[in-house]
Amino acid sequence: MNSRRDFLQKVSLGIGVTALAGLPASAAAPSAPVVRAEKQLRVAIMGLGGYANIVAEAMQKCTMATLVGVVSGTPSKVDTWKKKYNIPDKNTYNYETVSEIKNNPDIDIVYVTTPNSLHHKHVLQIAATGKHVICEKPVADNAKQTREMIAACEKAGVKFYIGYRLHFEPHTRELIRMRESGELGKIMHVNNYMGFKSGDPTQWRLKKALAGGGAMMDVGVYALNGARYCTGEEPIWVTAQETKTDPIKFKEVDETITFQLGFPSGVIANCGTTYNFNNFERLYVIGEKGFVELSPAFGYGPIKGRTNAGPMNMPAHIPHQTLQMDGLADIILNNKPDPHITGHEGLKDMIVVDAVYESIRKGGQKIFINKA
Amino acid sequence: MNSRRDFLQKVSLGIGVTALAGLPASAAAPSAPVVRAEKQLRVAIMGLGGYANIVAEAMQKCTMATLVGVVSGTPSKVDTWKKKYNIPDKNTYNYETVSEIKNNPDIDIVYVTTPNSLHHKHVLQIAATGKHVICEKPVADNAKQTREMIAACEKAGVKFYIGYRLHFEPHTRELIRMRESGELGKIMHVNNYMGFKSGDPTQWRLKKALAGGGAMMDVGVYALNGARYCTGEEPIWVTAQETKTDPIKFKEVDETITFQLGFPSGVIANCGTTYNFNNFERLYVIGEKGFVELSPAFGYGPIKGRTNAGPMNMPAHIPHQTLQMDGLADIILNNKPDPHITGHEGLKDMIVVDAVYESIRKGGQKIFINKA
């Protein structure tokens, strides 16, 4: 086993990443030749937008996951991808033919990267083919849709994962390790936020029919999912507040939301999200014995971190999607435990998202969730 | 005029402190000899607790303000202070004799540093003597008391200031200058928090009768006052959430509160305060063109800051209370405009504090304030 695979397997196994800091530099060098493992997870991507490109590029460095197929409604995109990634004709589909994937023995899993509000429909379609599914976050428009997606995958006997790439990211895994090991002591508070200034006013993100919602759905989920991995708990109440400084641009979807999650231990996670300003990306968890700050914390990286002991020394940056897809391959091919990336985790986030919108409708009122 | 006085006067005049960065090192050197101005503001301190000591020590470096008297119920403390600060017998009072200050021509102003819940009573007592008053924050238990204090001082024709020392602190003044000059662009968001782990379980801060409230009253006010100087606006709504992870220690007063202020421009300030953990002190204001982060932001210093352009280069640290008392002297003796430190500013904060507690009682409900 080469050291890079060793690294990836350790990450996917949840082995403390501090222990990896001593790896030879070549292990993380972007220019290192890719040595592919014998067993490969064979992946098709559905929806060839901007994020699909990022995943496909990152997968070129995977050792255990291979891009083998595409699903797209745009023939010109299919042509481009076929050439760029050496994809055979027989592994290309459009939205009318996608059900035929069930007859294709060369595809193991489909990564759904279509606009957020289409995830529900598309995951149901893929589940019906008998292929495993990975769905980009946010998993769906709401918890109800998510429950239907989970039920459909369970009924079809396929695995259902969410594109929670940060659960394979070294800084994030290190903070989880520090929390689980007790190094941070009892967790006392969380302050997470994630947002950016949205550009193109015609993009799908600003249309409710395609996006399901605004900043909260799309990037607020990072702060929320982060609050859950900062605490290791599920929230029992949610409050939220909304503002729109540009009600014309953000007519259909939410622009800026602040929200608070109350956890059983008494921790409050105080969070925020926006589509209308930059410099808004940070995770901060405070324990009785120390803290972890990641800033930036949630983007495609490099992530930067510091703790009460000083700067975090993590291995050199590897694209998160490389780590994610290799980690996922390891989980599926070798039957490893997963680091909180299943559809059930997506559901836990969507229950909170539903409560955020409900609290806003009710003037900030506390919404109780996850009742015992 | 020596350069140190020049510096202090610039600060009290609100002249941009970036312009001060080029001052000779001696200007800020703690060992520089104090050259006292001819006109002095003659100050008595009422309530000789821990904070009074800090103020008295800092005043030893003042050029325009002199500690000349004390009010205390503890004779042994009076003895110690008399010796330490060369205070004449005739300028010492206890709580029974304090009204006699009115006959003392050698005291201009009394700085009330008694436990928070006694501020109301003591400011009324000092106003009745015809002396100016400076009252440590939080000004009182609530807005009603504060209005009474303002009315009493107006009726007596005395000036009424709050111990908002940060309004004389260079980093804070620089961020206000950046906001006012438009360098930050339109302000989009604020994320401030201030708290600490309270030690001694027998201290007055944990007793409602002396403290009025808990973390929110005492240090949450920094985050709140900061939100007002980050935006230059008054909030129009408030939401808040409370948690007690140690309900025994914090039986009488609030432990940890998160609160949100909505401003007319649409900015939300998302804030927090606590008495039960450390590493919780930061101001962060985001504009369309840049940001300012102060961390630490509110303590006695040194304050550290960075902006989108890099680290803030401010003059070497001078105790805030030195800057504050010299600045206050300059304002009073030379009839200068004050930088938002009057009783009316305290009232604006207390209106928010009242709304924070009301929102908590109402389950996070939005409380509308400052209605047009």
DSSP string, A34-72: P---SS-EEEEEES-SHHHHHHHHHHTT-SSEEEEEEE-
* Cα dihedral B196→B201→B206→B209 (10° resolution): -160
* Closest by CA position to B262, among listed A185, A259, A3, A242: A242
Same domain, A154 and A75: yes
Q: pLDDT tens across B156-193, in order?
A: 999 999 999 999 999 999 999 999 999 999 999 999 99
- Report residue B363 as tokens: 């389950």
Residues with Cβ within 8 Å of residue B33, at least 6 apart in sequence:
none
- Record: contact A256-B270, CB cut-off 8 A: no
Question: ipTM of the predicted structure?
Answer: 0.90
Domain assignment present for residue A332? The answer is no
- For A342, phi and psi rounded to 5 degrees? -80, 170
Q: Examine the domain organization and report whether A103 and A202 are in the same domain.
A: no
Sign of the alpha-carbon torsion through B358, B362, B364, B369: negative
Give the range among A105-114, B3-12, B285-294, B331-340 with minimum mean pLDDT.
B3-12
Q: Which residues of B touch A363 (CB under 8 A)?
A: 365-366
> How many CB atoms are located within 10 Å of the residue A15 CB?
15
For the record, the structure tokens of A275 come out as: 């589509």
Assess if residue B2 is contained within a domain: no
**Chain A residues lying within 8 Å of B279, measured CB to CB:** 286, 290-291, 308
Distances (CA, A) of B354 to A325, B144, B272, B361: 51, 9, 15, 11
Residues of B in contact with A359 (CB under 8 A): 364
- Contact assignment for A191 to B191 by CB distance below 8 Å: yes
Q: Which of A245, A260, A267 sits opposite B188 (nearest CB)?
A: A245
Across the strands, what pairs with B262?
B237, B268
With CA atoms as reference, the chain B residue closest to A270 would be B258
Token pair belonging to A115? 């606009």
Instruction: Please say if the pLDDT value at position B14 is more than 80.
Output: no
Domain count, chain B: 2
Same domain, A156 and A275: no
Of B162, B197, B222, which residue is a domain's last? B162
Q: How far is B271 from chain A (nearest CA, A)?
A: 8
∠ CA A94-A99-A102, nearest 5°, is 120
Q: Which of B61, B137, B159, B348 is catalytic?
A: B137
String of b and e for B248-270 (b: at least 16 CB within 10 Å)?
eebeebbbbbbbbbbbeebbbbb
Residues forming beta bridges with residue B364, ordered by sequence position: none
| B222 carries an active-site annotation | yes
| A372 within 8 A of A234, measured Cβ to Cβ | no
Q: Nearest-CA residue of chain A relative to B263?
A: A243
Tokens of A215: 């900043």
In this prediction, residue B352 carries a pLDDT of: 98
Which residue is catalytic, options B93, B161, B164, B222? B222
* Distance of residue A274 Cα from the nearest chain B Cα, in angstroms: 10
- The angle formed by the CA atoms of residues B359, B362 and B364, to the nearest 5 degrees, is 55
Identity of the residue in A189, A244, A265 whose CB atom sits nearest the CB atom of B280? A189
CB distance B347 to B143 below 8 Å: yes
Set of chain B residues whose Cβ sits within 8 Å of the Cβ of A288: 277
Q: Which of B128, B162, B196 is the last residue of a domain?
A: B162
Closest approach of chain B CAs to the CA of A244, in angstroms?
6
CB A186 within 8 A of CB A231: no
Whichever domain contains B77, its CATH number is 3.40.50.720
The residue of chain B with its CA nearest to that of A273 is B189
Judge whether B321 lies within some domain: no
Model confidence at B372, pLDDT cuts 50, 70, 90, reads low
Is residue B23 pLDDT above 60, yes or no?
no
Please compute the mean of the pLDDT values over residues B359-371 and round it to a whole number: 95
Tokens of A7: 């690294």
Question: To 5 degrees, how large is the angle CA A158–CA A162–CA A166?
Answer: 140
A94 contacts: CB under 8 Å, gap ≥ 6: A71, A72, A73, A75, A78
pLDDT value of residue B77: 98
> B268 contacts in A (CB within 8 Å)?
241, 243, 256, 258, 272
Which of B241, B291, B361, B367 should be substituted to probe chain A, the one whose Cβ sees the most A Cβ atoms within 10 Å? Answer: B241
Q: Collect all residues of chain B within an 8 Å Cβ-Cβ radius of residue A366.
A: 241, 363-364
* Model pLDDT for residues B185-206, shown as the tens digit of each residue: 999 999 999 999 998 888 889 9
The minimal CB distance from A366 to the residues B276, B290, B363 is found for B363
DSSP class per residue in A237-292: EEEEEEE-S-TTTTSSS--EEEEEEE-TTS-EEEEEEESS-SSEEEEEEEESS-EE
Q: What is chain B's mean pLDDT, rounded?
A: 92
Q: Side chain identity at B1, as an amino acid letter? A: M
* pLDDT value of residue A10: 38
Mark whether A247 and A351 lie in a shared domain. Answer: yes
- Give the model's pLDDT for residue A235: 98
Across the interface, do A260 and B258 touch by the CB < 8 Å criterion? yes
Distance of CA A225 to the CA centre of its chain: 9
Q: What 3-state DSSP class applies to A151?
A: helix
Rounded-to-integer distance, Cα B263 and Cα B285, Å: 14
DSSP string, B192-203: EEEE-----TTS
Asked whether residue B248 falls in the same domain as residue B122, the answer is no
- Residue B95 structural domain: 36-162
Q: What CATH number has the domain bearing residue A231?
A: 3.30.360.10
DSSP conformation letters of B263-329: -TTS-EEEEEEESS-SSEEEEEEEESS-EEEESS-SSSS---EEETTEE---PPP--HHHHHHHHHH
- On whether residue B318 sits in a domain, the answer given is no
Test the A interface: residue of B270, B283, B304, B367 with most A CBs within 10 Å: B270
pLDDT in tens, A117-164: 999 999 999 999 999 999 999 999 999 999 999 999 999 999 999 999
- Report, as ranges of residue numbers, the positions in chain A whose pLDDT lies below 50: 1-29
Q: Output the CA torsion sign for A346, A352, A358, A363.
A: negative
Q: Which helix (H) or strand (E) holds A152?
A: helix A143-156
Contacts of A308 in chain B (CB under 8 A): 279
Q: Chain B contacts of A191, Cβ < 8 Å?
A: 191, 193, 272
A229 and A155 together in one domain: no
Interface test with A, best of B194, B256, B277, B360 (most A CBs within 10 A): B277
Asked if B190 and B154 sit in the same domain, the reply is no
Residue of A236, A215, A234 lying closest to A225 (CA atoms): A234
* C-alpha closest to that of A245 among B9, B323, B185: B185
Which residue blocks in chain B are alpha helix, DSSP H? 3-13, 50-59, 75-85, 119-129, 143-156, 170-181, 208-211, 215, 221-231, 320-333, 343-361
CA dist., res. A21 & res. A17, Å (int): 7
Separation between Cα atoms, residue A330 and residue B223, nearest integer Å: 47
Q: Facing residues of A256 across strands?
A: A243, A274
- Mean pLDDT lowest among B5-9, B59-63, B330-334, B368-372: B5-9
* Gap between the Cα atoms of B58 and B40, Å rounded: 15
Q: Which pLDDT does position B239 carry in this prediction? A: 98
Q: A257 and A215, same structural domain?
A: yes
**Nearest residue in chain A measured CA to CA from B246:** A266
For residue A203, the distance in angstroms to the closest alpha carbon of chain B comes to 21
- A292 burial level (CB within 10 Å; 0-12, 13-18, 19+): buried
Tell me the two tokens of residue B74: 């503890």
Q: How far does the CA of residue B284 sit from the closest CA of chain A (Å)?
A: 10
Peptide bond before A24: cis, by omega within 30 degrees of 0?
no
Does residue A227 sit in the same domain as residue A102? no
pLDDT for B32 beyond 90: no
Instruction: Write the DSSP symbol of residue B364.
Output: T
CB contact under 8 A, A193 and B191: yes
A207 and A347 together in one domain:
yes
On whether residue B12 sits in a domain, the answer given is no
Q: Do B274 and A188 touch (CB under 8 A)?
A: yes
Interface test with B, best of A270, A356, A368 (most B CBs within 10 A): A270
* Residue B301 maps to a domain: no
pLDDT for res A35: 87
Q: How far apart are the C-alpha atoms of B187 and A101, rounded to whole Å?
A: 51
What is the number of CB-based contacts under 8 A between chain A and chain B?
A: 102
Indicate which of A186, A187, A188 best probes the interface with B, i.e. most B CBs within 10 Å of its own CB.
A188
* DSSP H/E element including A147: helix A143-156
**Pairwise CB contact (< 8 Å): A260 & B241:** yes
In DSSP notation, B95-112 reads TTTGGGGGG-TT--EEEE
Q: Is the pLDDT of residue B30 over 60?
A: no
Question: Using CA atoms, how far apart are residues B336 and B329, in angstroms rounded to an integer?
Answer: 9
Eight-state DSSP code of residue B245: S
In a domain, A139, yes or no: yes
Evaluate if residue B45 carries a pLDDT over 50: yes
Partners of B266 on chain A (C-beta within 8 Å) are 243-245, 256
Q: Are residues A88 and A132 located together in one domain of the fold?
A: yes
Residue B300 lies in a domain: no
Listed in sequence order, the residues at least 6 apart from B169 whose beta carbon sits closer than 8 Å to its beta carbon are: B301, B303, B320, B323
Over residues B311-349, the pLDDT tens digits come to 999 999 999 999 999 999 999 999 999 889 999 999 999
- Is residue B137 part of the annotated active site? The answer reads yes
- The verdict on a CB contact (< 8 Å) between A268 and B243 is yes
Task: Nearest by CB to A239, from B241, B244, B277: name it.
Answer: B241
Same domain for B210 and B356: yes
